[in-house]
């Protein structure tokens, strides 16, 4: 391999490279940057590194052939590449939502806004709830929970009257008695996933509406191996009237953009 794209993010370091004309992807926790460096020295000591992300400088002293690119531009370009190669390019303009440690919203070549609600919130609060910072363990526990045992639902408030809005909606995240013995760690993590998904969906739909588009493309490391978060986001698609696209390799959009940047 002659060139490697790397997105050194706050939580994960994503790697993209070509081998035998096929795109290959790897992921390391960002607190294991030494393992990334060892992998590079062992398998690709002569490769040119094209790096982006908030922790890009951590790799700067470990290669004489390193170029650092702007993160937002790499994410946008990587997304365009994936939309074309995965045959999912929307027919009209779209809002791009990148759910990583935090969440950013892009349109064309501009970052519109962002929020700290994302994968970092999930692992941070998840560690308090479940006493483990392991992302995959937290995702697995959340998938086994019932968020309705932790969230106060609209149906809980309108038990005896007809609800003026959809009864399955959340009235208050974590609004039930969290000390009640029937509320488990799994239930609370499912509620946390719901809170994150709901918040991102509401912000994304409002941004898309302001742009005059119904097309929303979702990428980011927080979606990787997290079907529950995808399910929460997708559950609002018809209600809020938007068209949602998830990219299979969207977690590595920044690294892919860095790999092909300037080609």
Q: What string of H, E and C letters represents the secondary structure of 193-261?
A: HHHHHHHHHHHHHHHHHHHCCCEEEEECHHHCCCHHHHHHHHCCHHHHCCEEEECCCHHHHHHHHHHHC
Residue 73 exposed, middle or buried by CB count within 10 Å (0-12, 13-18, 19+): middle
Alpha helices in the chain (DSSP H): 33-43, 71-85, 119-130, 135-143, 154-157, 185-211, 227-234, 237-240, 253-260
Residue 246 CA: distances (Å) to CA of 27, 63, 69, 82, 157: 19, 34, 25, 10, 34
Distance CA 17, CA 260 (A): 9
Nearest CA among 228, 153, 152, 155 for reference residue 196: 228
Contact 16, 258 (CB under 8 A): yes
Report the helix count and the strand count for the chain, using DSSP H and E: 9, 12
Catalytic residue numbers? 71
């Amino acid at each position: 391999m002659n060139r490697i794209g790397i997105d050194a993010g706050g939580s994960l370091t994503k790697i993209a490279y070509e081998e035998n004309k096929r795109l290959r992807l790897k992921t390391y926790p960002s607190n294991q940057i030494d393992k990334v460096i060892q992998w590079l020295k062992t398998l690709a000591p002569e490769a040119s590194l094209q790096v982006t992300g908030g922790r890009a400088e951590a790799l700067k002293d470990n290669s004489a052939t390193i170029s650092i690119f702007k993160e937002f531009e790499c994410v946008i370009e990587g997304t365009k590449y994936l939309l074309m190669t995965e045959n999912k390019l929307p027919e009209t303009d779209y809002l791009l939502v990148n759910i990583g440690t935090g969440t950013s919203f892009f349109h064309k070549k501009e970052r519109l806004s962002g929020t700290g609600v994302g994968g970092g919130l999930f692992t941070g609060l998840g560690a308090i709830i479940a006493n483990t910072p392991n992302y995959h363990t937290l995702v697995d526990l959340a998938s086994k929970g019932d968020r309705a045992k932790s969230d106060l639902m609209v149906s809980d408030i309108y038990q005896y009257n007809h609800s003026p809005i959809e009864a399955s909606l959340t009235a208050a995240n974590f609004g039930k008695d969290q000390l009640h013995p029937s509320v488990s760690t799994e239930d609370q993590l499912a509620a946390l996933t719901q809170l994150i998904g709901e918040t991102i969906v509401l912000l994304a739909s409002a941004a898309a509406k302001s742009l005059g588009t119904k097309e929303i493309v979702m990428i980011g490391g927080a979606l990787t191996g997290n079907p529950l978060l995808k399910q929460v986001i997708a559950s609002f698609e018809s209600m809020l009237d938007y068209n949602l696209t998830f990219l299979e390799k969207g977690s590595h959009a920044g690294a892919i953009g860095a790999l092909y940047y300037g080609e």
